[in-house]
Amino acid sequence: MALPMRTPARADTPAGERPYLGFGLGLRPQHYGEILDRPSDLPEPRIDWFEIISENYMAAGGRPLANLMRVRDRYPLVMHGVSLSIAGIDPLDADYLRGLKALADRVDPAWISDHLCWTGVDGVNLHDLLPVPFTEEALDHVVQRVGQVQDALGQRIALENASTYVTFASSEMSEWTFLAELARRADCNLVLDVNNVFVSGFNHGFEPMDFIRALPAERVIQIHLAGHEHNTTHIIDTHDATVVDAVWELYGATVRLLGPVSTMIERDARIPPLAELEAELEQARALAAAAGA
């Protein structure tokens, strides 16, 4: 009897054989020129791959798509969405999933990710990564929806830990227990945002390494790094500044623990020239090298 065929997808690499892309950046339109139309006397940027914000290229054509496809010709891409609302109570948006799948068919990303969060309710979209109560009810709900999404996309997805500013009285477990259980039960991967662990750790008073140590290492396929804004009583995840020293330290400890994990820096506001982000990425390379990762 013939076994059903599965399209080989890199994100479907068996657990324990984590795909590794190296060191990347979030692709931002401000950098198209420096990436695509670089003077020939300048060396190629030391960037191994790019992550795109999926929504920016869904149902799009014209220059945005043309630029994306030119980047696609030269670099591996990863798709990162902000609108899946995997923990939301509204039904999953079929149009959105179709658009996501169409984009994935076009760019053939190494993997597709979004966040452990909800983004709206009763048809109203709040366009934010809203916090999830860490309850058995929410876990069951998210596990079931990850299954639906993975079926619709025909591949595993990865979910990222969001920065959060509040905790719920109803939570029954830690965020890391929730994520580890989610990855195991839904058979999905994780994007570990080290800055977000630091931010949430400060905001909610937990030890960041307790979080990271509890995750199933083989399912962490990507690391995010970013800057934040410290407001004394709480930290806000702003993605508008360089990665702070404490987060670099945490990153170093993370790669010592996990080994090589594809790592990237996210900058969404006050975007500097590409060379500055390349230089920042060198710091990640150096820390990973020092960790033997």
Choosing from 61, 91, 245, 292, the residue that interacts with another protein (CB under 8 A) is: 61
Contact between 204 and another protein by CB under 8 A: the answer reads: yes
The upper half-sphere exposure of residue 17, i.e. CA atoms within 13 Å in the direction of its Cβ, equals: 6
Tokens of 130: 């809203």
Smallest separation, CB 23 to another protein (Å): 29
Task: Kindly state whether residue 144 participates in binding another protein, applying the rule CB under 8 A.
Answer: no
Place of tokens 């010592």: 256
Sole window of 12-20, 50-58, 151-159, 182-190 interacting with another protein (rule: CB under 8 A)? 50-58
Q: Is 273 in the site for another protein (CB under 8 A)?
A: no
Binding another protein (rule: CB under 8 A), the pick from 30, 125, 144, 148 is 125
Cβ neighbours for 283, distance < 8 A, ≥ 6 positions apart: 243, 248
- Of residues 39, 43, 91, 123, which one binds another protein by CB under 8 A? 123
Question: Should residue 126 be labelled a site residue for another protein when binding is judged by CB under 8 A?
Answer: yes
- Tell me, what amino acid is at 242? T
The phi-psi region of residue 59 (left if phi > 0; otherwise alpha if psi is between -120 and 50; otherwise beta) is: left
Q: Taking the complex as a whole, how short is the minimal distance between the CB of residue 102 and another protein, in angstroms?
A: 11
Q: How many CB atoms within 10 Å of residue 49?
A: 21
CB of 152 to another protein, least distance (A): 14
**Shortest separation between residue 256's beta carbon and another protein, angstroms:** 29
Among 26, 76, 88, 201, the residue binding another protein under the rule CB under 8 A is 88
Could you say which DSSP state residue 12 is in? Answer: G
The SS3 call for residue 117 is coil
Q: Does 122 bind another protein (CB under 8 A)?
A: yes
Angle, helices 136-153/175-186, rounded to nearest 10 degrees: 40
Cα 261 to the center of its chain, rounded Å: 12
Residues near another protein (CB under 8 A): 55-56, 58-66, 83, 85, 87-89, 93, 96, 118-128, 130, 133, 135, 137-138, 141, 165-170, 203-205, 232-234, 236
